[in-house]
Every structure is written in structure tokens, then in C-alpha cells.
A and B are shown apart, each in its own frame.
Chain A
Amino acid sequence: MSARQAKRELGRSALIFAALGDRNRLLIIARLSSEGPLSISRLTHGGSVTRQAVTKHLHVLANAGLAGSSKSGRESVWQLEPEPLDAARRCLDSISVQWDAALNRLKTFVER
């Protein structure tokens, strides 16, 4: 990792930690994780935090790359997105590398 990359990673980590350093935002993350994608109304319902505050928190999470929204009809639906999807892709890549190694061993095995 170059110094520039490292600095960027650090900057991103700082954003993430700042975003997580709030109890209401942690609650939102916990709910998005256990209940899946939710609209702002659903996130506001039953809590003591106003719709405006929830919206603000979601934007802080989005800015740190922890949550994202997509339109569903007239409402925006929020979910924990970029990080897990990215990781899912990397996860598949690691399995893919294992298959390459296994097939190389098969090649050696049948061609000897």
C-alpha cells in the first residue's frame, strides 16, 4: 500500500469511527442489519428520534460508506450496503483463487 493509499484508508476509517460514535446511529445500523432495508418512516416509527434526526443520521452513515439508499416507489429505502457487497465480491474472488489452485493440481495430476 502506498503512503497516499494508506492516508486515504485512514481518512475513511476516521469517517467510519465518527459515524459509529453515536448511539442513535448504532441503533439504526443494528436495525438495518437485523430487519434488512427500511424506509425512513419505518426507522422513525417506535423510536424517540424525529424523522429529521433519522434522516441526518442516515446521511452521516452514507457519507462514511456504511449505508446507502435506493428509491422504492415514493420512499427511499435504506440499507447497509457498500461494504458488505464489496466484501461479498472479494469473498467470491478468494473462492475463485482456491478453484484455480485446485484445477492446477488436477492438471498436474492427469497430465503426468
Chain B
Amino acid sequence: METDRIEKRVLLRAPRSKVWRALADSTAFGEWFGVTFAEPFVPGARLSGKVTLKGYEHLPFEITIERMEPERLFSWRWHPYAIDPKVDYSGEPTTLVVFELEETAEGTLLTVVESGFDGIPLARRLDAYRGNEKGWATQVKAIERYVGQTS
């Protein structure tokens, strides 16, 4: 059972240069991804954006750009389950997102791979999936409290 990575492929009926701009230009990227950035994407840069998707506006959005090979590859790292604005995720492992572009007769074939999920603490993944109140980590803490009280 694959739990470490997600892979997506999509054929975009647009020239490779246009797809590259939509990825590598932080303003264009933000438009479809749903986030606004004040700075440009540069390899090694750490950017904080503001989420513009309805219902997610309170979330922090931080990415660190890894590689930018024009019209071929764009990659960055982030904290995939950073859903609690009160938690500092900076010390936790990140996942790597890699976009690869390939020119085809019909347009541009884009492959997106996000990997490294197995490095994220399971409790965090469960909390993110179920909401903070019901996660295993929370449940177990409640159990520990209960057990501590009754011993």
C-alpha cells in the first residue's frame, strides 16, 4: 500500500512556455493555486503567502523553493498538513513537490509528484485528516490523562 507519494499527470493544451510561466511566476502560480505572494520564486527562497481559497484564508502558507530548470522542472517543499495556525510546523519534516514538463504534439504533459508523506508523524497525518479534536494523538493523550487519574 503506497502511503509515501502522490503522482498526478495532466495534459495541458497550452505551449510549454505558458505552462512554465504559470508555475514559475509567483503571481501567476498564486492565481490558480489560490495563494498570493509578495516575492518572486527563486531557488532556495522561503516564501510566506496568503491563502485566497474560500474557507482556508486563516491558514499559513509557506514554501521553500528547491529547483527551477526553465520549462522543464520546478520543485518546492512545504508542510502538507499545516492546518492549525497555532502550531509551529517549522521543525517538522516536509514533503517535496516536483512539477515536470514535457512537450507533446497536443500540448504540455505535466507530472506532479508529492513525496515524503511517510516522514510526517502519523499522528499529525491523522489529526489533519480528521480535524484536530478527534485524532489518535489527542485520543491517546486523553487516555493517558484518564489512566493517570485513576491509577
Query: B8 contacts A100, CB within 8 Å?
Result: yes
CB-CB nearest in chain A for B23 = A106
Answer yes or no: B96 CB below 8 A from chain A CBs. Answer: no
Q: Add 17 more A-B contacts to A23-B150, A91-B128 (CB < 8 A).
A: A23-B147, A29-B140, A30-B140, A84-B126, A87-B130, A88-B126, A89-B1, A91-B129, A94-B129, A95-B80, A99-B8, A102-B32, A103-B8, A106-B22, A109-B31, A110-B14, A110-B108
Query: B117 contacts A27, CB within 8 Å?
Result: no
Mark each residue of chain B from 55 to 70: 1 if its CB lies under 8 Å from any CB of chain A, else 0.
Answer: 0000000000000000
Point out the residues of chain B lying under 8 angstroms from A92, CB to CB.
2-3, 6, 117
Top 6 closest pairs, chain A to chain B, by CB = A91-B129, A110-B14, A109-B32, A105-B32, A33-B140, A106-B32
**B34 shortest CB reach to chain A, Å:** 7
Point out the residues of chain B lying under 8 angstroms from A110, CB to CB.
12, 14, 18-19, 22, 108
Mark each residue of chain B from 68 to 86: 1 if its CB lies under 8 Å from any CB of chain A, else 0.
Answer: 0000000000001100000
Interface residues of A in 72-112 (CB under 8 A from B): 80, 83-85, 87-92, 94-96, 99-100, 102-103, 105-111
Number of interface residues of A (CB under 8 A): 32
Answer yes or no: B98 CB below 8 A from chain A CBs. Answer: no
Answer yes or no: A26 CB below 8 A from chain B CBs. Answer: yes
Mark each residue of chain A from 20 to 37: 1 if its CB lies under 8 Å from any CB of chain B, else 0.
Answer: 100100110110011000
Point out the residues of chain A lying under 8 angstroms from B122, CB to CB.
84, 88
Given A30-B147, A85-B1, A87-B125, A95-B19 contact (CB < 8 Å): no
Point out the residues of chain B lying under 8 angstroms from A34, CB to CB.
140, 144
Query: A109 contacts B80, CB within 8 Å?
Result: no
CB-CB nearest in chain A for B4 = A92
Point out the residues of chain B lying under 8 angstroms from A111, CB to CB.
12-14
Point out the residues of chain B lying under 8 angstroms from A102, CB to CB.
32-34
Query: A109 contacts B22, CB within 8 Å?
Result: yes
Selected contact of B125 from candidates A33, A83, A88, CB within 8 Å? A88
Query: A107 contacts B143, CB within 8 Å?
Result: no
Point out the residues of chain A lying under 8 angstroms from B33, CB to CB.
102, 105-106
Query: A87 contacts B32, CB within 8 Å?
Result: no
**A102 shortest CB reach to chain B, Å:** 6
